[in-house]
Structure 1
Amino acid sequence: MRKVSALLLVAERRAISGLAGLYASRMLGLFMVLPVLAIYADTLAGSTPLLIGVALGIYGLTQATLQIPFGLLSDRIGRKRVIAMGLIIFALGSVVAAMADSIWGVILGRALQGSGAIAAAIMALLADQTREQVRTAAMATIGLSIGVSFAIAMVVGPWLAAWAGLAGVFWFTALLTLVGLLVLWRWVPPAPRRLRHRDVGMDRQQFKNVVTRPDLWRLDLSIFALHLVLMAIFVAVPFRLLSAGVAVEHHGLAYLGIMALSFVAMVPLVIVAEKRQQMKAMCLLAIGAIVVSLSSLGLPLSQGHWLFVWLFVFFTGFNLLEATLPSMMSKLAPAGAKGTAMGVYSTSQFLGAFLGGTLGGLLAHTWGLNAVFIGCAFLALLWWLAMLRMPSPPPLSSEVLALHDTQPDALDLLMEHLADVAGVEDVMVVPEERLVYLKVNRQQLDQAALTRLIPPPKH
């Protein structure tokens, strides 16, 4: 029914590829430091495990603080201007960190990197440049690019640091950012409009409803805890690889093997979660795997080849959650509130990264490397218990449809008719946007009835 209209236009292809590349390159720059900072920062003046942890996670604090203000600013002065400003700030932070000769300089640089908080503006620009029929696929492309950038960063970061030092990693990040500016202005097409998008941007009227729903805040807690333990353990993991006899220049190969195997193991679990409606079970399985792996890494069980086994178990759980948590959020968010829900979710993620780096550094500084893993395992166990009572998410998905010729006085009646369509679980009609936001069960959806009420656009 909507197949023709769902084909990507040339401008949409350029927008999706360009903005996904921008998002991925920025996350690549942030993540490349993760597997190398703890080792290479030892040579910086004033370096301690606590301050190394702060340097790892400080970008999360500035990112969480500024991402929503940057998104709102892009509504006023333009998406590309805000994105360009954020990229310049990010590049400046990379240069500051590259030139630093003390841990405090690296902390300042990482804080500036996070201050280029352009995630919301990128998503808004992507929404401006894509039609409702293809927007979900476009957003999924961004999500996929983040996962790919993390895997690449884990491999490239150690190799680049072994070749050019920690400063080289930051200089490479600055260069990537300058390339990103060229992509923004020369490849990404001008936005034909600048609108508010409830499936992407923050809606203040929906905020209270989103943060007070137990099922949604459990997902916010999950992404918070996931990135907390990730940042925390990288205060210790590089040293564990060294003690296992893996030379610094070969850490990238170790991560390559671990990440590749964990992706292979994750794929069938994601299929089970999505196709067989086992989201909650897979979520609990992944958190349980993280608890077991972290506990084992903090005990003598992680000697020799067992170190790689437990890191494989950890990253399988991590990657499984990175893939399923956004999907669960999309299913549970009310119609028209997906953007608000994802905004709170992203803020929780960045706060988790900041507190995780700080906590990992504090534990390592006070009680040693084993305490980092044991402390994170205890927190992950509390997280598992919090998720145990969460109801299984229903098999719902979001759909956004454009209103074409509907008269304003007929909108209430249209909303009633839409609510009566089989498979439609939630409806929000937004007259000023000329859009309808739906939550639908596609297995039960009466597509013919929906098409009669809202015909697809004519070409």
Structure 2
Amino acid sequence: MNSTERRALAGLASLYVFRMLGLFMVLPVLSLYGSDYTGSTPALLGLALGAYGLSQAILQIPLGVLSDRWGRKPVIFLGLAVFAIGSVVAATSESVFGLIGGRILQGAGAIAAATMALAADLTRDENRGKAMAIIGASIGVAFVLAVVLGPLLANLGGLSAIFWLTALLALLGILLVWRLVPNPPVQIRRGPVSGDFARVLSNASVWRLVCGVFFLHLLLTALFIPLPLLLVEQLQLPSADHWKLYAPLLLGTFVVMVPLMRMAEKRQQVPAAMRLALLGLVFGGVALMPSTQGGWIVACLALFFLAFNLLEALLPAQLTREAPAECRGAASGLYATCQFLGAFAGGSLGGLLYGQGGAGSVATFVLGVLVLWSISWWQLRGIRVPVASN
């Protein structure tokens, strides 16, 4: 990579870390601290957890397309400003409905598609797969940091401390993109967009990838409805000490994931690696089963997080190889829409199921989703994987 590509990747990967912290830090603590809000119920807390994903899902495609027309950076600046405002609303809310409103407003700053497309604009074709893998890995880094920092911050200042930090990170993100990330060399298109979507929607491989990220984030969000409470009840681990479990567990799985990802790319075995990771996600449901006790819960979580981080890194890299360059923003918008729609569905359905039948119901739901995903995705063919360059 040349200096411009490295500079762009450093800035955009950091932006992804800042941005995704706002989503992930809430995951391990909302079910523990959400009862402090007036009117809270398991179902409403699940809705609050997933509400961010709903507004993200609605706006990713429109803002992705607008980034093809107006430019990537203006859309990113606007989205980060809206995200900061939503964070302030959530931080100052005392009722669960104010929390839900703040989360919806946070999600309205839907810049994932524009950011992914900007990264593709600023890298050459032979380096694009590596660039997208780095950005995908940065989401894994954000996840690791979030589940460690979330319990620590919530113990110090409740959920409001998390939301104040996410507002600050959004403002820092604006400064980061403005000062560090180069302007894209591509010319903004202003023609009709119908052809863009026709080409994206007719690509079966793209559909497999966007359905994959939908299911992936559905499972993650649903898992974190009962998981924090399960750690308190089954492992006798106080909420303030959850980071002591998450930190070594996630750092260890992340360290293992990176060479696995590179090996899959180098040997052109990315589809096989994805199918193997799909099997690993099964252990997330197993961890929630009443029969799973003690250290087996930790072992199952390790396998689940390893599979999650591997898919989180591989899926966006493959998407940019499949999407036509001139409508990459639209394709990235579809991908991000499905990603955050999955987070909304997982939080909402997970909260309802947990309120009705406890962790066992969520475990059954997770395993059922994986069966559906496997049926729709097992024959993963037609994905182009270029020979990795040194």
Q: Secondary structure at the match of 1:172?
A: helix
2:91 is matched with 98
- Of 187-196 and 222-231, more deviation after overlay is shown by 187-196
Q: Which has the larger radius of gyration?
A: 1
Q: 2:36 aligns with which of 16, 39, 43?
A: 43
Q: Provide the C-alpha distance between the structure 1 equivalents of 2:210 and 2:181, rounded to a whole number of angstroms.
A: 34
Q: Provide the C-alpha distance between the structure 2 equivalents of 1:76 and 1:334, rounded to a whole number of angstroms.
A: 16
2:3 is matched with 8
Letter in 1 for 2:187: L
Letter in 2 for 1:362: L
Confirm whether residue 296 of structure 1 aligns to residue 296 of structure 2. no
Confirm whether residue 213 of structure 1 aligns to residue 203 of structure 2. yes
Checking the alignment, whether the CA contact within 8 Å between 2:69 and 2:188 is kept in structure 1 is: no
* Distance change (3 Å), C-alpha of 1:124 and 1:156: same
Letter in 2 for 1:269: L
Letter in 1 for 2:108: S
Letter in 1 for 2:16: Y
Q: Secondary structure at the match of 1:391?
A: coil
Deviation for aligned residue 1:158: 0.8
Q: Provide the C-alpha distance between the structure 1 equivalents of 2:380 and 2:278, rounded to a whole number of angstroms.
A: 14
Q: Provide the C-alpha distance between the structure 2 equivalents of 1:193 and 1:332, rounded to a whole number of angstroms.
A: 21
2:272 is matched with 281
2:332 is matched with 342
2:214 is matched with 224
* Distance change (3 Å), C-alpha of 1:204 and 1:148: farther
Q: Provide the C-alpha distance between the structure 2 equivalents of 1:81 and 1:327, rounded to a whole number of angstroms.
A: 24
1:191 is matched with 183
* Distance change (3 Å), C-alpha of 1:76 and 1:389: closer
Q: 1:148 aligns with which of 141, 153, 157?
A: 141
Q: Superposition pairs for residues 417-432 of structure 1, below 5 Å?
A: none
Q: Secondary structure at the match of 1:47?
A: coil
Deviation for aligned residue 1:384: 1.5
Confirm whether residue 253 of structure 1 aligns to residue 244 of structure 2. yes
Q: Secondary structure at the match of 1:368?
A: helix
Deviation for aligned residue 1:209: 3.4
1:163 is matched with 156
Q: Provide the C-alpha distance between the structure 2 equivalents of 1:322 and 1:121, rounded to a whole number of angstroms.
A: 18
Q: 1:33 aligns with which of 23, 26, 36?
A: 26
Which consecutive residues of structure 2, in runs of 5 or more, have no partner in the other structure? Answer: none
- Structure having the higher strand fraction is 1
The two structures, once aligned, show a CA RMSD in angstroms of 2.8
Letter in 2 for 1:209: R
Q: Provide the C-alpha distance between the structure 2 equivalents of 1:38 and 1:103, rounded to a whole number of angstroms.
A: 12
Q: TM-score, normalised by structure 1?
A: 0.76
* Distance change (3 Å), C-alpha of 1:267 and 1:24: closer
Q: Provide the C-alpha distance between the structure 1 equivalents of 2:162 and 2:207, rounded to a whole number of angstroms.
A: 36
Which consecutive residues of structure 1, in runs of 5 or more, have no partner in the other structure? Answer: 1-5, 397-440, 444-459
Q: Which has the higher contact order (CA 8 A, sep 6+)?
A: 2
Q: Provide the C-alpha distance between the structure 1 equivalents of 2:142 and 2:189, rounded to a whole number of angstroms.
A: 26
Q: 1:354 aligns with which of 344, 355, 361?
A: 344
Checking the alignment, whether the CA contact within 8 Å between 1:124 and 1:197 is kept in structure 2 is: no
Deviation for aligned residue 1:140: 4.3
Q: Provide the C-alpha distance between the structure 1 equivalents of 2:111 and 2:308, rounded to a whole number of angstroms.
A: 24
Deviation for aligned residue 1:395: 3.2
- Of 77-86 and 355-364, more deviation after overlay is shown by 77-86
* Distance change (3 Å), C-alpha of 1:316 and 1:122: closer
* Distance change (3 Å), C-alpha of 1:126 and 1:269: closer
Letter in 2 for 1:213: N
Deviation for aligned residue 1:127: 5.5
Checking the alignment, whether the CA contact within 8 Å between 1:288 and 1:381 is kept in structure 2 is: no
Checking the alignment, whether the CA contact within 8 Å between 1:37 and 1:56 is kept in structure 2 is: yes
1:371 is matched with 361
Q: Provide the C-alpha distance between the structure 2 equivalents of 1:193 and 1:295, rounded to a whole number of angstroms.
A: 45
Deviation for aligned residue 1:133: 6.8
1:89 is matched with 82
- Of 225-234 and 128-137, more deviation after overlay is shown by 128-137
* Distance change (3 Å), C-alpha of 1:206 and 1:297: same
- Of 62-71 and 270-279, more deviation after overlay is shown by 270-279
Q: TM-score, normalised by structure 2?
A: 0.89
Letter in 2 for 1:302: T
Deviation for aligned residue 1:341: 3.5
Deviation for aligned residue 1:117: 1.2
Letter in 2 for 1:321: L
Deviation for aligned residue 1:280: 2.9
- Of 28-37 and 207-216, more deviation after overlay is shown by 207-216
* Distance change (3 Å), C-alpha of 1:82 and 1:390: closer
Checking the alignment, whether the CA contact within 8 Å between 1:266 and 1:319 is kept in structure 2 is: yes
Q: Provide the C-alpha distance between the structure 1 equivalents of 2:127 and 2:271, rounded to a whole number of angstroms.
A: 28
Checking the alignment, whether the CA contact within 8 Å between 1:70 and 1:120 is kept in structure 2 is: yes
* Distance change (3 Å), C-alpha of 1:127 and 1:97: same
Q: Provide the C-alpha distance between the structure 2 equivalents of 1:184 and 1:341, rounded to a whole number of angstroms.
A: 22
Q: Provide the C-alpha distance between the structure 2 equivalents of 1:245 and 1:331, rounded to a whole number of angstroms.
A: 46
Q: Provide the C-alpha distance between the structure 2 equivalents of 1:77 and 1:386, rounded to a whole number of angstroms.
A: 36
Letter in 2 for 1:110: R
Q: Provide the C-alpha distance between the structure 2 equivalents of 1:322 and 1:285, rounded to a whole number of angstroms.
A: 14
* Distance change (3 Å), C-alpha of 1:122 and 1:393: closer
1:418 is matched with none
Deviation for aligned residue 1:330: 4.1
1:262 is matched with 253
Deviation for aligned residue 1:171: 1.0
Q: Provide the C-alpha distance between the structure 1 equivalents of 2:329 and 2:221, rounded to a whole number of angstroms.
A: 26
Q: Provide the C-alpha distance between the structure 1 equivalents of 2:184 and 2:321, rounded to a whole number of angstroms.
A: 30
- Of 74-83 and 100-109, more deviation after overlay is shown by 74-83
Confirm whether residue 381 of structure 1 aligns to residue 376 of structure 2. no
Letter in 2 for 1:191: N
Offset from partner CA, 1:180-204 (integer Å, 9 cap, x none): 233344x236737662389xxx964
Checking the alignment, whether the CA contact within 8 Å between 1:53 and 1:358 is kept in structure 2 is: yes
Q: Provide the C-alpha distance between the structure 1 equivalents of 2:171 and 2:332, rounded to a whole number of angstroms.
A: 28
Q: Secondary structure at the match of 2:82?
A: helix
Deviation for aligned residue 1:322: 1.4
